Amino acid sequence: MDEERAWWKEAVVYQIYPRSFNDSDGDGVGDLQGIIDRLDYVASLGADVIWLNPVYDSPQADNGYDIRDYRAIYDEYGTMADWEELLAEVHDRDMRLIMDLVVNHTSTEHEWFQQSRRDEGGYRNYYFWREGDAEHPPNNWKSGFGGSAWASDEEAGMQYLHLFDETQADLDWDEAAVREDVYDLINWWLEKGIDGFRMDVINLISKPEGLPDGDPEQDWVGIEHFANGPRAQEYLAEMAAETYDNYDAMTVGECVGIDVETASDYVSADGPMDMVFHFEHMQVDMGDRWLSPAEWDLSDLKAVMSYWQTELDGWNSLYLTNHDQPRIVSRFADDDEYRVESGKLLGTLLFTLSGTPYVYQGQEIGMTNYPWSGLDELDDLQSIGKVEEAIEAGEIDGFEEVQDIVRARSRDNARTPMQWDDSENAGFTNGDPWLAVNPDYEDVNVAAAEADPDSVLHYYRELVDLRDAHAVFVYGDYELLLPDHEEVWAYRMELDEEAVLVALNFSDTETTVTLDPAAAVGDLLVSNYDEQHPNGTELTLRPYEARVYSLN
């Protein structure tokens, strides 16, 4: 691949969910000083960039994705001075900081919405106001969290659009003043010295004129209209030109319902973003509905990720989880007997593909899903909304019927507190944690992982070093071997004179594969099992074994 080199292509990104990372003041909620206290740990992983989930002033209906003031810090997280200290401390450690940019919608407590609902100050058209009521909403679009995408506002006497929670009102980007205000706030943060943005649901910003009804058979009704809408590309290009293109900033846009062709328009050399987060590999275990059983085949996961490796015209982001997704050992491998091998296996995948890898807090110690047993334990608006919607529709009688699915899928799996040690509350807080700590914290925690040379954590550090030392893992060309194999994922990466072979056993049984002679194995670069295997065109892989060979 003849890829132009850039710092953000070679970077490893570590994602911090501030609410659940580290609580310095005992109120049960993570905070900025708590993050500062753990920066040496983050740096020790070899992370180059930290992506911080929203820390702006917010009523926290959706844990900060409902912003009340873009230029202020949420008081439970600290002050602007704390944030400035954090930025300086990150930079002191030669890392960079990217912020979450949530501009598809604001909180209904935002000043713009307050004035808009009262038709004051020229703000009326900042949001989508239409005639309608609960029985007759303006169209049939659904919220991503279940239920109608329209809510009634008494003060305005109309309904407004919310593609997420009803406290998250969608901004109307066709209104020029909205775009100007958004560009102003982006530049304000860039001027403060940040290094880029992760852009929340950024491909939803353009809604088609007339807001036409969506296909009622879709799980998210209306998505074909509001994902990659008619002017999305134009507005993104304008935003880039007016803001971050004038800085040495990295951008990654979360894009719902995007395929490789549309993504290429966004991230090709002259496109408006550096990378996108697509969802195609996150769909492999999704049935037609959020509440369909979570079953999947390795060949499907391989097919999707391989396709993005070879077909995207532009730079890939690499992620297997984040704050909206379950824990990966539970989802894609084994979180029980082979938890450690599984954590390493999936890490090997993440760090040996071409693109920029994103590690979500706790992934590096192999954290697992939580055994949820009732709606009252959950905080995630999506899990609660989807279950309540099904109960209301008479599809299920109660939580127990879908317990397995919620356990497999809930966003709260990722949001339980970070597990630092085996003390009470896993060392996350001295107070009452806002969300339950996973009961496995006595075994699965950072302190235990630091003390164990065979831990997932130490293996992650090895992988980061390996990636730093071999450009083939960053910029290499990918070739899938054995595409239909349901247990083993094997591929070659090649760059200039260097070639490597990666072989990953995704099953709990020993599996032997015969590789194309052209892929005959060479020197072992890294593996999650200690003992060496005999090399040859026949390769026997133990349960969840990962092997990376140099072919030079």
Catalytic residue list: 200, 254
Among 127, 141, 164, 332, binds ligand GLC (CB under 6 A): 164
Is 199 a binding residue for ligand GLC by CB under 6 A? The answer is no
Using CA atoms, how far residue 494 sits from 337, 345, 352, 514, in Å, is 34, 20, 11, 20
Please state the φ and ψ torsions of residue 82, each to the nearest 5 degrees.
-60, -40
- Is 314 within 8 Å of 269 (Cβ atoms)? yes
The DSSP element (H or E) to which 436 belongs, if any, is none
Binding mask 374-403 for ligand GLC (x = CB under 6 A): ------------------------------
- Is 253 within 8 Å of 203 (Cβ atoms)? yes
CB of 200 to ligand GLC, least distance (A): 5
- Output 112 or 164, the one with its CB closest to ligand GLC: 164
- Output 62 or 487, the one with its CB closest to ligand GLC: 62
CB of 231 to ligand GLC, least distance (A): 20
Give CA–CA dist 477/353, Å, rounded: 9
- Is 229 within 8 Å of 204 (Cβ atoms)? yes
Rg of the chain over all Cα atoms, to the nearest angstrom: 23
* The one-letter amino acid at 313: D
Q: Which residue is nearest to ligand GLC (CB)?
A: 65
Strands 158-161 and 129-130 turn out to be antiparallel
Using CA atoms, how far residue 236 sits from 210, 243, 254, 274, in Å, is 21, 10, 13, 12
Please state the φ and ψ torsions of residue 100, each to the nearest 5 degrees.
-85, 130
- Output 195 or 200, the one with its CB closest to ligand GLC: 200
How far apart are the two ends of the chain, measured CA to CA in Å?
18
The single residue listed with the structure tokens 């002679």 is: 517
- Output 202 or 521, the one with its CB closest to ligand GLC: 202
- Output 164 or 491, the one with its CB closest to ligand GLC: 164
Is 170 a binding residue for ligand GLC by CB under 6 A? The answer is no
Annotate 336-405 with DSSP letters as a single string.
Answer: STTHHHHHHHHHHHHHHSSSEEEEETTGGGT--------GGG---HHHHHHHHHHHHTTS-SSGGGGHHH
Residues 473-512 that bind ligand GLC (CB under 6 A): none
Is 255 a binding residue for ligand GLC by CB under 6 A? The answer is no
Is 341 a binding residue for ligand GLC by CB under 6 A? The answer is no
Is 201 a binding residue for ligand GLC by CB under 6 A? The answer is yes
- Is 502 within 8 Å of 491 (Cβ atoms)? yes
- Output 62 or 285, the one with its CB closest to ligand GLC: 62
Is 324 a binding residue for ligand GLC by CB under 6 A? The answer is yes
Please state the φ and ψ torsions of residue 184, each to the nearest 5 degrees.
-60, -45
Is 65 a binding residue for ligand GLC by CB under 6 A? The answer is yes
Give CA–CA dist 182/199, Å, rounded: 12
- Output 274 or 324, the one with its CB closest to ligand GLC: 324
CB of 89 to ligand GLC, least distance (A): 25
Is 62 a binding residue for ligand GLC by CB under 6 A? The answer is yes
Is 519 a binding residue for ligand GLC by CB under 6 A? The answer is no
Is 102 a binding residue for ligand GLC by CB under 6 A? The answer is yes
- Output 46 or 253, the one with its CB closest to ligand GLC: 253
Q: How many residues of this chain bind ligand GLC (CB under 6 A)?
A: 9
Is 360 a binding residue for ligand GLC by CB under 6 A? The answer is no
User: How would you list the strands of the sheet with 498-505, edge to edge?
Assistant: 477-481, 488-495, 498-505, 546-550, 523-527
Among 76, 153, 200, 274, binds ligand GLC (CB under 6 A): 200
Sites of contact with ligand GLC (CB under 6 A): 62, 65, 102, 164, 200-201, 254, 323-324
